[in-house]
Homo-oligomer: A and B are copies of this chain.
Amino acid sequence: MGEKQTCTVLFEPSNASIEVAPGTLISAAASAAGVRINLPCGGQGRCGRCLVQVRAGHVARRASAKLPQELAQQGYALACQATIYEDAIVFVPAQEEMERVLVPVGGVSQKAAKAEQFLVPPEPEVQRCYVQLDPPSLEDNTADVDRLRRHLASQCGLAGVSLGLPVVQRLGRALREQGWRVTATVEQPREGGGLWLIDVAPGDAASRLYGVAIDIGTTSNVVTLVDLHTGKMLATASAYNAQISCGEDVISRIIYARREDGLRRLQALVVETINGLIRQLADKRGLALDDIVRATVAGNTTMLQLFLAVDPQPIRLAPYIPAMTHAVGVRAREVGLGINPEASVDCLPCVGAYVGADITAGVLASGMAESDQLSLFIDIGTNGEIVLGNRDFLISCACSAGPAFEGSGVEYGMRAAAGAIDGVWIAKDFEPTWRTIGNEKPRGICGSGMIDLLAEMFITGLVDRNGRLAKDLPTDRVRMGEHGREYVVAWADETAIGRDITINEVDLENLVRTKAAIYAGFNVLLDSVGTSLDDVERVLIGGAFGQYVDVEKAIEIGLLPDMPWDRFHFLGNTSLAGAYQCLASRERRRQVDEIGAKMTYLELSADNRFMDAFTAAMFLPHTEMSRFPSVEAELAERGSA
């Protein structure tokens, strides 16, 4: 059989077909057939967004980091990197389909799948029991409370239940209006302490046992409604933390709290935000707020203190002291949380001023504390918090990364909202292609977009290893602006804001500082326990932001260490996942306390090694290029291309 002169390519699902010469790129064939395939990186094989599935015929694939082995085995190929040599049927997936297919390494959210992996067997610290009391008589004139306690012991096996004034105040009416048939909500604290009756609901409400897991982020608040009987997550809702109006980051919130009534206002704002989410979830499931009988809360130390109206000033100034690291007994009514007013509001343990319950919860959810493998857990948000360890030890630090990745400190930075550029590819002619959230016209650049942008600018030679914009390049996109030299990412007429969206050298320096702080952080951690990156078996990336980071690009700028991609695991919102687990399972709740107690906190501001490591990391990707062999190789390849 000789070589075919032409090959027929049928594109599905459009059913367009075309004859092409052997050796034609799939992307070129599609273009000729009038089938639209996006090529955000300009056909360089670097964005992985032109994924297609070859359903018949053989194609030649160029190796690409964006095409993992398992996908290639399923027939997937990158349209810009695969050439046709025989008749073929090529399926062009819709955008959403592609998102589902692409592995996390591609930086794609797989929220639904992730939530499932955190499920735990339900064993909550609160239960409901339906009791049918004998009505009182002259012969049996036991007091209401004592009568209820007697029946809780005999009918539910709950002996020695205590209760507080608010329940006593409601009990008499509840019992009489309900014909002495009520549902008791009883807490069983995991650590000693007796049974505690928090509520008496009318009739048989035993099946309605709900809780909320709450993640209080500096930027976003997320609430998951959980059925505590099954341990299932019923629904999740998120919103911006309304405290944003009082400051973008933790420090500005703390400063705001110094104002008269500032602390009270911050507390009210975050509670309003959360209550809105809870109402939304309860409405959606048609359930009563009183049936939500427990809340478990994760968040950074400052967010938790603000939520509890505990003055956070000592967190801001050396020696950076939180008010508490362990849960104190809090009832929903004490903080105005819109669930059953007597429900426990369980704030998870913090480790220090800058390693909060979002991290202990994250470590819990990541499973690293139960593993023999040495893992590095990273949560990149306003700060970068890092934990190194395994089942034997945990050591943590917080890098003052600054909020650059959350859109602050960068002129056109913005949060990950509709219209944010969240992916960027730059072609050899320095022309960019970008993707926006919601496919809207761009309004700014969010964190993952900035990492992409910095990486692409570095790889294409737009910025040098110092993070400076190159001069005299053959492009009008590099120019002098108000804040020094700048690169135009999008022209005014392409945007939703009617202005050029640019990135300038001040922005670039902020981004480099941020990535340097994080990279320095885990180097100091590793150093402090006498180990190195080579020994790290897994890099677990938590936090909502981490979900969208493109590993390849994060390595290119020296934010993440240069190691095989299969060691990176994107876990999504681990703070929320940990809160969920602690809500649903007393055993997990106990474990997070152990994690908090076991975790050492390394204060970097007191550590000279950190300043050295930070300075060394202020290059792209790093002063020592040998730490980033894959980047070195790529640059070499580029340089020779």
The residues of A with any CB-CB pair to B shorter than 8 Å are 136-146, 162-166, 168-169, 171-173, 176, 192-194, 308-311, 313-314, 318-326, 328-330, 334-335, 350, 352-353, 601, 603, 605-606
Contacts and interface: CB of A to CB of B under 8 A. Distances in A.
A318 B138 contact: yes
A321 B145 CA distance: 10
B324 A145 contact: yes
Nearest to A329: B164
Contacts of A139: 606
A106 to B, nearest CB: 40
A321 B144 contact: yes
A142 B140 CA distance: 54
B168 A324 contact: yes
B168 A325 contact: no
14 contacts: A141-B321, A141-B352, A141-B353, A142-B321, A143-B322, A143-B352, A144-B321, A144-B322, A144-B323, A164-B329, A165-B329, A165-B330, A172-B311, A193-B193
A558 B313 CA distance: 72
Contacts of A601: 141
Contacts of A176: 314
Contacts of A329: 162, 164-165
Contacts of A309: 169
Contact of A324 (B144, B193, B334, B352): B144
Contacts of A145: 323-326, 328
Contacts of A169: 308-311
A172 B141 contact: no
Contact of A138 (B310, B322, B330, B603): B603
A639 B321 CA distance: 90
Given A310-B172, A328-B145, A319 B164 contact: no
A104 B353 CA distance: 67
Contacts of A173: 311
A326 B144 CA distance: 11
A630 B336 CA distance: 69
A609 B317 CA distance: 77
A417 B606 CA distance: 73
A137 B330 CA distance: 29
A188 to B, nearest CB: 15
A33 B49 CA distance: 126
A308 B165 CA distance: 8
Classify the interface of chain A: helix, strand, loop or mixed. Answer: loop
Nearest to A176: B314
A328 B161 CA distance: 11
Contact of A164 (B136, B328, B605): B328
Contacts of A323: 143-145, 168, 171-172
Contacts of A142: 321
Contacts of A321: 136, 141-144
A141 B603 contact: yes
Which of A145, A320, A601 has the most chain B CB atoms closer than 10 A to its own CB? A145
A163 B173 CA distance: 32
A162 B329 CA distance: 9
A196 to B, nearest CB: 10
B146 A324 contact: yes
Given A136-B321, A320-B141, A334-B165, A146 B311 contact: no
Given A141-B320, A165-B329, 13 more contacts: A138-B318, A138-B320, A138-B603, A143-B325, A143-B352, A145-B328, A165-B328, A165-B334, A168-B323, A169-B310, A172-B311, A172-B314, A192-B194
A353 B141 CA distance: 9
A171 B606 CA distance: 26
Nearest to A328: B168
* Closest 7 pairs (CB-CB, A-B): A145-B324, A138-B606, A143-B322, A143-B325, A138-B319, A136-B321, A165-B330
Contacts of A143: 321-325, 350, 352
A310 B173 CA distance: 10
Contact of A605 (B138, B310, B334, B606): B138
Nearest to A322: B143
A139 B165 CA distance: 43
A143 B356 CA distance: 12
Which of A136, A192, A323 has the most chain B CB atoms closer than 10 A to its own CB? A323
A36 B70 CA distance: 119
A141 B308 contact: no
Contacts of A322: 143-144
Contacts of A352: 141, 143
Contacts of A172: 310-311, 313-314, 323
A142 B600 CA distance: 11
A136 B308 contact: no
A597 B315 CA distance: 51
Contacts of A308: 165, 168-169
A168 B345 CA distance: 15
Nearest to A335: B165
A320 B165 CA distance: 21
Contact of A319 (B137, B171, B310): B137
A75 B549 CA distance: 104
Contacts of A136: 319, 321
Nearest to A345: B165
A335 B168 CA distance: 13
B168 A310 contact: yes
Contacts of A326: 145-146
Contacts of A324: 143-146, 168
